[in-house]
Amino acid sequence: MESFALHSTSSSLPPRSSSLRFRPISKSPSFLTPSLTAPYSIPTLRSFSLFPATTTPSRLPSIRVSSSSNLPNRLSPSSEFTDPPPPPPQGAKPLPFIISISIGLIVRFLIPKPPEVTPQSWQLLSIFISTIAGLVLSPLPVGAWAFLGLTVSIVTQTLTFSSAFAAFTNEVIWLIVISFFFARGFVKTGLGDRIATYFVKWWGGSTLGLSYGLTISEALIAPAMPSTTARAGGVFLPIIKSLSLSAGSKPGHPSAKKLGSYLIQSQFQSAGNSSALFLTAAAQNLLCLKLAEELGVIVTSPWLAWFKAASLPALVSLLATPLILYKLYPPEMKDTPDAPALAAKKLEQMGPVTRNEWVMVATMLLAVSLWVFGEALGMASVVAAMIGLSILLLLGVLDWDDCLSEKSAWDTLAWFAVLVGMAGQLTNLGIVTWMSDGVAKSLQSLSLSWPVAFGVLQASYFLIHYLFASQTGHVGALFSAFLAMHLAAGVPGVLAALALAYNTNLFGALTHYSSGQAAVYYGAGYVDLPDVFKIGFIIALVNAIIWGVVGALWWKFLGLY
């Protein structure tokens, strides 16, 4: 239902009449509302539209609201507004708060402490579990809840101040923060729009070709735009909505399945493979390798090693996903003959490549080159990112206000550093080793070989994501523990670390809350919730078969096991 607001502009209301006529909120493609951009906000987003000026969809008819309509905020006979609804409760949500705290207290005081675990480590484990429960149940925003967990760990003297805040200097976390700024540069300059529009022009003659064009363009942008959420909200959702509306496919309407539903599902389900293809395509990828390094699993030449291991299964999945969805979730419109012409007109309106776009291209080529060859040059990935950001700031592609207003970057720094710090301290205090040894003994008692244990642990890690609303949160909470379980079960370390990291990207399309891009695509209004869960589960099975069969053969060829 459309939402309306009545604003009084003076002390007296306009004369009453038997009916009031309101103009509905336009559904022309400005595309990103605040509800769609969370957790990645793009205040300076360039509006993308493939509509020529003469083909803008007609406005919806005005809606007549009778004075006797049964509306909660209608005008009373005395021309006065009824009392506004009470404001939402402030502070923590009571029930999620009680449950989250209770889980930690139960672990701390009711579950017997194993003799091989120290009181300090057991107390930290209870705080950590309570923190994770709060991330799932959301009694407070993620950053605020993580800060409370950090405060409790210091107040109870479980951790010292310096050890509690040690992760805030972690180079990988700062690399993730800078990646948000790079993504903003792509959106601000319009470079991402331009690249994707070229693929619409080249491939957009049919619905299936259009889907492949968008999928391939995201795979090409991914290594230099390390935020799946930014790619979704800043580049691909505006294009998909524009194409869909131009074809008469409207969100929240039976016509959604004409084109928009298929394009949304195809792009959403393909995005995980684009993120898994390159080490720098998603922020959580580098964190996975950093956590693996803390457990003694070192991946030499990480960018190239990551790409080689992911290349074949990821490319097979990228090619298979649009076609499978075309059969399982078919669009009503099979041909889109107008899309290339609209894209060509949009490129003409955009004009030649701007200076800032060229600077963005050159800077990202430099950054990716330094990421690829950084180990040979002795340069850390975060230093390469810092150099790239400095160039963008010096040449004015980004200004410092852009960085300061990137709230999601600073929020990630706050809560993610807390999770990573707690996880690191649990490893140092022996909790992770204790847990992994227990799981390993259970697996050995079942006489499972390491390949079977590998499959069981990978599937468990994947399916647990139904309980998480963040890929990075999942990594911070469980990656180290699951990798330690793999190692204790005899799984080769590099194979285990890479497979867990790839799964971290693939489970981002399980549900409408499983990742930032999931919220963006679902919020567009083209896909019904049951379809999100159904298609998410089906494509998860498809990915499991492709990565489990093609990937296993490919990894054997590469000598990972």
Cβ neighbourhood burial of 538 (10 Å; 0-12, 13-18, 19+): middle
The answer to whether 200 and 214 are in contact (CB under 8 A) is yes
Range in 48-57, 75-84, 461-470 the model is least confident about: 48-57
Over residues 9-21, the pLDDT tens digits come to 333 334 433 333 3
User: Which residue, 428, 435, 425, is CA-closest to 116?
Assistant: 435
Section 153-181 average pLDDT: 87
Question: Which residues contact residue 180 at a Cβ distance below 8 angstroms, ignoring those fewer than 6 apart?
Answer: 40, 227, 230, 283, 406, 408, 409, 412
- Dist. CA 386–CA 181, nearest whole Å: 10
Average pLDDT, the chain: 81
Position 378, amino acid: G
* Backbone angles phi and psi of 307, in degrees to 5: -65, -45
The answer to whether 441 and 381 are in contact (CB under 8 A) is no
CA distances from 273 to 311, 313, 320, 421 (A): 10, 9, 11, 29
Band (pLDDT 50/70/90 cuts) for residue 76 is very low
| Residue with the two structure tokens 């009694």 | 139
The closest of 323, 334, 348 to 247, measured between CA atoms, is: 334
Residue 97: pLDDT band (50, 70, 90) is very high
pLDDT score at 51 = 39
| Residue predicted with more confidence, 429 or 432 | 429
Does the pLDDT value for residue 98 go beyond 90?
Answer: yes
Predicted confidence (pLDDT) per residue in 261-318, tens digit:
999 999 999 999 999 999 989 888 988 998 898 889 999 888 899 999 999 999 999 9
Alpha-helix runs per DSSP H in 3-69: 34-37
* Residue 465, CA distances (Å) to 104, 271, 305, 413, 551 in order: 20, 17, 26, 22, 21
Residue that the structure tokens 């706050």 belong to? 414
Mean pLDDT over residues 117-132, rounded? Answer: 90
Task: Give the list of residues 6+ apart from residue 88 with CB closer than 8 angstroms, or none.
Answer: none
Separation between Cα atoms, residue 73 and residue 333, nearest integer Å: 41
- Give yes or no for residue 60 having a pLDDT over 60: no
Torsions phi, psi of 531, nearest 5?
A: -70, -35
Give per-residue pLDDT as tens, 493-548. Answer: 999 999 999 999 999 999 988 888 888 898 888 999 899 999 999 999 999 999 99
d(CA 535, CA 3) in angstroms, rounded, equals: 30
Question: Per-residue pLDDT tens for 345-376?
Answer: 889 988 999 999 999 999 988 988 888 887 77
pLDDT given at position 85: 64
Q: How confident is the model at residue 425 (pLDDT cuts 50, 70, 90)?
A: confident
pLDDT value of position 513: 82
pLDDT in tens, 432-473: 778 777 777 777 777 788 999 999 999 999 998 887 877 887
Instruction: Measure CA 353 to chain center.
Output: 29
CA 285/CA 309 separation, integer angstroms: 14
Q: How confident is the model at residue 86 (pLDDT cuts 50, 70, 90)?
A: low
Q: pLDDT tens across 224-246, in order?
A: 887 888 888 878 888 888 888 88
CB 405 within 8 A of CB 43: yes
